[in-house]
Structure 1
Amino acid sequence: MNEEEFLLLKSIALSLERIADSLEKNAHNEVDDKVDVAVESSDDTNENENMDYGCSVKEIDVNILIDKLQEKNITVKTYVDSITENTSLDNVAYFMGNRYNDIRKVYETIKRHLNKPNGFHLDLKNATQSEISASCQLCTTLYDIAFLSEYKYDKSPRYFIHATPNKIPIAINFLTGHWLEIFIRKTIQDSLKSLPATIEYTYLINPQIILPNGNDFELDVVFLINGEIYWVEGKTGNYQHYINKYSHVANMLNLDKNHSFLVLTDVINPNTTYILSKTFDMTIIPVEEFEEEIKYVFHENLIP
């Protein structure tokens, strides 16, 4: 990491701390609290749940997971070490995942303009109050952490967002899809902390692997929880090109639908994910339903 990236990460961390400590009002009808408030203090909630249930959650050596994959003839070449993983963006990603339907329009607009020289003007006159509030929350936070270089919101009667994405590597990586991987990882960790059970887990983020057939492949998020492997992929677009391949990899890993998941952002019709899950050998689910689904699966699989 060069000095410029280090200073940017430090700035992001300080900005997020400031957001968590302040309850400023944003735009439109005084309903735009900061993102960390909207996230509902998930870490504190989980700590209280842990005390109530008396459960134990322990992170174990990642090599146990690597060995477990090797038993399935899966070789791990490289991966992101959880010790060095940047967790300063966890709450932003968590907010985006849980409020995705509300931020969809502004997020897709930001994403489209990452490769364009100019900013954008987004009309929210026909948006719901929830969509306006969440969109302004997201933009305010992205601006505070320098992922937007410009941001302004015009209140009633205009209801316009004006913004320019900051075209720096860390922002581009986060906004083009890494936020979804962070959301998946954090949601799984928080869900484990809420279980009334003794849990041992470890995980890999973006491991580069060699499949049993010799092909190279990259997994998004893979957990080992109480000796069982759980694999989750996330797609922010074009899932149609990948879904069959993911289904084959789930079979290679010998993972059933309670252990392999594909989380999608661009499926609006709930019948679509139902049909996809029936057709392919994975559980395919909209991003906003992932937390409820994974908690149900863990409750069924991990509680004695």
Structure 2
Amino acid sequence: MAIFRCSKCAHLREVGSDYIGKAVKCPKCEQVNRVHDTLIFIKSLIHKHIELSRELKGIREVASDETYENKLFSDIDIHNTNALSEARNLEPILQWFEGRNIQAHINPGAADTTGFFDEISLLMGNQFSVLNVVSNQIKYVQNKGYDNVKIDLSKKTRQEIQQITSFCKALYDYSFVAKYFYDKKGGLVRLTLQKAAKVRDFFNGIWMEWFALIKLLELFSEHKIAPCCTRSLNISFSDGRSNELDLFVLTEKNIPICIECKTGEFRQDIDKYLSLRKQLKLDKSQFVLCVFGLSDEQALGMTSMYDLTFVSETSLASHIQTLL
């Protein structure tokens, strides 16, 4: 037997096998259609059903991923998670660079907050004007190859002394230093440094990347949004040039944001960052230079002078929020 089905009015009827392949008019609407072999027609319907089922499954998986992402920044402890190290967070970033013929090398553990790097970096960044004397002295001493740090508190206010000693105690509690002693009478804090490479790198500037990452995670969590982000990303261009990006973010609208963290002398690197922004083909607002200790007036002035966006540690989150 054969099947006649009208593509216009959906009229369906069974006809004799001698009509297979013939074009006939629909008895209801007169639309011309071909008659199909019943077996072939059924197989075609089954194939379409399978394809539709696959599409529906894909939609469910996307919905599941969206549910996961929304849950990612609303239900987890951002200070104690390795969720950012999972493939579903990193794969969109890799694809973004691949689409621009840029090779990206990601260290998944760079955004693992299960350690204490994030907690200490927040203390350092949120109280930067006071605690930078500690981080600068640690960096100076360890780069000289020494282990013992002395911090003079004799000219500090009572509040500054409380902040510095509390911070140094936290360094000891979290094992960032091997020893901590506060000589209250002499007005000195004495620290014995750890020699572990990760701790040395942290005080050499990695702490700023951690601070920026956690500030963004706090922002994302507050607004229940789930961009993809990672830290310490190495990229290589087709011409052989390579760079390290301190922080890279892809928003939910697939808008890329690159954040570079600096303190102290940064002006000599402005040309380098201008060139990098052009290579990445990012808008001015999407390439952010976060300079710790920068005043609002300085940030505004330099942003107007250069094709880069300058922010401080206090204005970073508010600028990123304008891009989300």
What is the letter of the counterpart of residue 242 of structure 2?
A: D
Which residue identity lines up with residue 170 of structure 2 in the other structure? T
Report whether the alignment pairs 1:152 with 2:188. no
Per the alignment, residue 33 of structure 1 pairs with none
Report the CA distance shift for 1:237/1:134 in structure 2 as closer, same or farther (over 3 A).
Answer: same
- 2:110 and 2:187 mapped to 1: Cα distance? 43
Are the counterparts in 2 of residues 74 and 210 from structure 1 also a CA contact under 8 Å? yes
Matched, 1:301 2:323: yes
Look up the equivalent residue of 1:91 and give its one-letter code. Answer: E
1:161-200 aligned at under 5 Å gives the runs 161-195=189-223, 199-200=225-226
Partner of 2:108: 81
1:216 and 1:68 map into 2 onto residues whose CA distance is 17
How far off is 1:64 after superposition?
1.4
Secondary structure of the 1:126 match is coil
Measured in 2, the distance between the counterparts of 1:145 and 1:250 equals: 37
Partner of 2:262 in structure 1? 235
Distance 1:127 1:288, change over 3 A: farther
Residue 128 to residue 290, structure 1, CA distance change in 2 (3 Å): farther
SS of the residue corresponding to residue 171 of structure 2 reads: helix
After TM superposition, the structure 1 = structure 2 runs for residues 114-133 of structure 1, keeping only pairs within 5 Å, are 114=142, 115-133=144-162
Q: Which runs of 5+ in 2 are unaligned?
A: 1-72, 76-85
What is the one-letter code of the residue matched to 2:323?
A: N
What secondary structure is seen at the aligned counterpart in 2 of 1:194? helix
**Residues of 1 paired with 2:282 and 2:157: CA distance?**
40
* Corresponding letter in the other structure for 2:269: Y
Counterpart AA for 2:187: Y
Q: 1:63 to 1:269 in 2, by over 3 A?
A: closer
- Whether the 8 Å CA contact 2:110–2:232 is kept in 1: the answer is no
Paired residues in the alignment total 240
| CA displacement at 1:83 relative to structure 2 | 8.6
* 8 Å CA contact 1:212, 1:252 repeated in 2: no
Give the superposition deviation at 1:270.
Answer: 4.8
**Do structure 1's residue 272 and structure 2's residue 298 form an aligned pair?**
yes
Separation in structure 2 between the aligned mates of residue 99 and residue 123 of structure 1, nearest angstrom: 18
1:219 deviation in Å? 0.8
Cα contact 2:232–2:244 (8 A) shared by 1: yes
Q: Which of 244, 252, 268 is the equivalent residue of 1:218?
A: 244
Note the C-alpha offset of 1:141. Answer: 1.5
- For 1:146, what is the secondary structure of its paired residue? coil
- The percent identity for this pair of structures is 23
Shift of 1:103: 0.3
Contact (CA 8 Å) 1:142, 1:148: kept in 2 or not? yes
Provide, for residues 67-119 of structure 1, a one-character-per-residue CA deviation record: whole Å limited to 9, x for no partner. 1122233221x211159835312111111111111101121111111134252
How much does 1:281 deviate? Answer: 1.9
Query: Which residue, out of 58, 69, 74, partners 2:97?
Result: 69
Give, in whole Å, the separation in 2 of the partners of 1:225 and 1:61. 11
TM-score by length of 2: 0.66
Contact 1:200 1:225 in 2 (8 A): yes
Does the 8 Å CA contact 1:263/1:287 hold for their aligned counterparts? yes
Q: Which amino acid aligns with 1:73?
A: N
| Partner residue, 2:140 | 112
- Alpha-carbon distance change, 83 to 272 in structure 1, aligned in 2, over 3 angstroms: closer
Q: Match for residue 16 of structure 2?
A: none
Say what the alpha-carbon RMSD is for the aligned residues: 2.7
